[in-house]
Amino acid sequence: MLNALRDAFEIGRHPLRFRSARIEAADGFAVEHLAFESAAGETVRGILTRPEGPGPFPGLLYIHAHGNHHDIGIAEMLDGRPALQGPLGPEFARHGYAVLMTELPAFGTRAEPEESARAKEALWHGRSLAGQMIAEQASALDWLSNRDDVDAASIGAFGISMGATLAYWLASVDPRIAAVAHLCAYADLDTLIAAGAHDLHGIYMSVPGLLKIASNGRIAGAVAPRPQLIGIGDLDPLTPPRAADTALEETHALYAAAGATENLTIHREPDSGHVETAAMREAVMRFFERHLQAG
């Protein structure tokens, strides 16, 4: 399964090449404005926030969301977005992490070509836009883990919505991610299809033949025995209870088979929708503190 997933997620096929950095001081942390180049020659913006000092610090690969706001992209890092309680880049840095975000294709300064055009081109060639996104994030992880001020053995991944999906999909095939926390994007896809709710997802997420390889529950379960936090709200149309329960059953079984049920954390809110809540943020901070900073 893992080899098939790595192929579906196009690992190694979309490298990012580092080009430049501009560093500025912020309120209690540092910000690095980065430029990479994609395999197709696009300029890819990056932002790294980190504590002041030499480190090494635990790292976080933070993947931005979709939200039908193609203009936001990497601005989520410092400015937040409507689904978040507030910006997380500064908060993660003040909690002791070196945090990297790179802008995904079809967002921000990469908004053209737009999502549908990019996805259709990839699908017609037997690939996917999600595959490009995941492969670029794996390359960003290469760069982050090679920094002298980052503890390569303590790097986590985080995202909400689209960023959540990409975070646990990448973690399933990349053992360098020591822990993953994701919010508002965990559900069994077959159940969503049966309910007619699958079209709420963007076309970026259409990976050819994915469900012949594994369900979302099995993909998330492939992270075991590494720590994973799954955050969902029962009023979220992307993670309705029946679809979430189906996925959870499979993920729980794989963590149990790995003898690691204590490393699977479920944060579920019956009255929450497709948004980060204050309780979710607190749970994420506790989770990473326990699993990335315990040493």
Structure token digits, residue 287: 């989770």
CA of residue 34 relative to chain centroid, distance:
19
Cα–Cα distance list, 44 to 73, 204, 213 (Å): 11, 18, 31
Which domains does the chain possess?
A: 2-292 (3.40.50.1820)
39-92 pLDDT tens trace:
999 999 999 999 998 989 999 999 999 999 999 999 999 999 999 999 999 999
pLDDT band at 25 (very low <50, low <70, confident <90, very high): confident
Query: Is this prediction's pTM over 0.95?
Result: yes
Any alpha helices (H) in the chain, and if so which ranges? 2-8, 76-79, 89-94, 115-124, 129-145, 162-173, 189-195, 210-213, 216-221, 241-257, 278-292
pLDDT value of residue 295: 55
Candidates 106, 147, 133; CA nearest to 23 is 147
122-171 pLDDT tens trace:
999 999 999 999 999 999 999 999 999 999 999 999 999 999 999 999 99
The pair phi, psi for residue 46, each rounded to 5°, is -135, 155
Mean pLDDT over each residue of the chain, to the nearest integer: 97
